[in-house]
Structure 1
Amino acid sequence: MTAVFTGGEESDHGSSSLRGERGSIARRERRWGLFFVSPWIIGLFAFFLIPIVASFVLSFTNYTLASTEPTEFVGLDNWKRMFDDPRVSHGLWVTLKFACFAVPLGIFVPLALAYLLTAKHLWGRGFFRVLFYLPSMVPFIAAVIVWRFYLNPQSGWWAKFLGWFGVDSPDYLRSSAWIMPTLAYIGLWGIGNAMIIFIASLNGVPRDLYEAASIDGAGTWRLFRDVTWPMISPITFYNIVILLVGLGQYFLVPFALTDRNGGVDNIALFYTMHFYNETFVNFRMGYGAALAWAMFIVVFSLTLLLFWSAKYWVHYEYEER
Structure 2
Amino acid sequence: MPDQQRSLANRHAVTNEAYIPIPRKKAWNAYENKIKLYGFLFAMPWIIGLLLFNAFPLLASLYYSFTNYSILESGTWVGLENYRALLQDDIFWVSIYNTLYYTAIFVPVSIIAGVALALLLNLNIRGQGIYRTLFFIPSLVPLIASVIIWMWLLNPQFGVINYLLDLAGISGPSWLGDERFSKISLILISLWGIGQSIVIYLAGLQDIPQDYYDAADVDGASVFQRLRHITLPLLTPVIFFNLVMGTIGALQNFILPQVLTGGQGTPANSMMFYVMHLYRNGFGYLKMGYASAMAWILFLLVVGLTALIFATQKKWVYYQGKE
Please give the secondary structure, in 2, of the residue aligned with 1:264: coil
Structure 2 residue aligned with 1:3: none
Gaps of 5+ in 1: 1-5
Partners in 2 of 1:208 and 1:302 — Cα distance? 37
Partners in 1 of 2:121 and 2:294 — Cα distance? 42
Structure 1 residue aligned with 2:51: 45
Partner AA of 2:235 in structure 1: I
Instruction: Quote the offset at 1:20 in angstroms.
Output: 4.5
Following superposition of structure 1 onto structure 2, how do residues 11-90 of structure 1 map, counting pairs within 5 Å?
Answer: 18-66=24-72, 68=73, 70-90=74-94
Structure 1 residue aligned with 2:17: none
Structure 1 residue aligned with 2:279: 276
Instruction: Quote the offset at 1:107 in angstroms.
Output: 0.2
Instruction: Quote the offset at 1:200 in angstroms.
Output: 0.9
Indicate yes or no: 2:264 matched with 1:258. Answer: no
Query: Is the 1:151–1:158 contact (alpha carbons within 8 Å) kept by the matching residues of 2?
Result: yes
Partners in 2 of 1:32 and 1:55 — Cα distance? 34
Query: Is the 1:105–1:184 contact (alpha carbons within 8 Å) kept by the matching residues of 2?
Result: no
Instruction: Quote the offset at 1:210 in angstroms.
Output: 2.1
Change (3 A) 1:176 1:17: closer
Match of 2:316 among 283, 290, 313: 313
Match of 2:110 among 106, 109, 115: 106
Instruction: Quote the offset at 1:141 in angstroms.
Output: 1.4
Structure 1 residue aligned with 2:97: 93
Change (3 A) 1:183 1:24: same
Partner AA of 2:243 in structure 1: I
Instruction: Quote the offset at 1:297 in angstroms.
Output: 0.4
Partners in 2 of 1:17 and 1:219 — Cα distance? 62
Instruction: Quote the offset at 1:189 in angstroms.
Output: 2.0
Partners in 1 of 2:228 and 2:171 — Cα distance? 41
**Range with bigger deviation, 192-201 or 206-215:** 206-215
Change (3 A) 1:195 1:7: closer
Partners in 2 of 1:205 and 1:83 — Cα distance? 49
Partners in 2 of 1:9 and 1:128 — Cα distance? 66
Partners in 2 of 1:65 and 1:50 — Cα distance? 16
Partner AA of 1:112 in structure 2: A
1:104-157 superposed Cα distances (whole Å, 9 cap, x missing partner): 22101111111001113x211111111111111121112111111221112323
Partners in 1 of 2:207 and 2:221 — Cα distance? 20
Change (3 A) 1:230 1:17: closer
Instruction: Quote the offset at 1:160 in angstroms.
Output: 3.8
Two-structure CA RMSD over aligned residues (Å): 2.3
Query: Is the 1:233–1:315 contact (alpha carbons within 8 Å) kept by the matching residues of 2?
Result: yes
Partners in 2 of 1:19 and 1:168 — Cα distance? 83
Indicate yes or no: 2:125 matched with 1:118. Answer: no
Partners in 2 of 1:260 and 1:97 — Cα distance? 19
Following superposition of structure 1 onto structure 2, how do residues 177-192 of structure 1 map, counting pairs within 5 Å?
Answer: 177-192=180-195
Partners in 2 of 1:185 and 1:300 — Cα distance? 27
Match of 2:174 among 164, 171, 174: 171
Q: How many equivalent residue pairs?
A: 310
Query: Is the 1:101–1:180 contact (alpha carbons within 8 Å) kept by the matching residues of 2?
Result: no
Indicate yes or no: 2:304 matched with 1:301. Answer: yes
Following superposition of structure 1 onto structure 2, how do residues 186-265 of structure 1 map, counting pairs within 5 Å?
Answer: 186-265=189-268
Partners in 1 of 2:276 and 2:39 — Cα distance? 43
Change (3 A) 1:61 1:7: closer
Query: Is the 2:162–2:172 contact (alpha carbons within 8 Å) kept by the matching residues of 1?
Result: yes
1:198-223 superposed Cα distances (whole Å, 9 cap, x missing partner): 11111111222223333334322221
Query: Is the 2:64–2:75 contact (alpha carbons within 8 Å) kept by the matching residues of 1?
Result: no
Structure 1 residue aligned with 2:294: 291
| TM-score (normalised: structure 2) | 0.89
Instruction: Quote the offset at 1:163 in angstroms.
Output: 4.7
Partner AA of 2:234 in structure 1: M
Query: Is the 2:98–2:271 contact (alpha carbons within 8 Å) kept by the matching residues of 1?
Result: yes
Partners in 1 of 2:80 and 2:282 — Cα distance? 18
Please give the secondary structure, in 2, of the residue aligned with 1:265: coil
Partners in 1 of 2:63 and 2:102 — Cα distance? 31
Gaps of 5+ in 2: 7-19
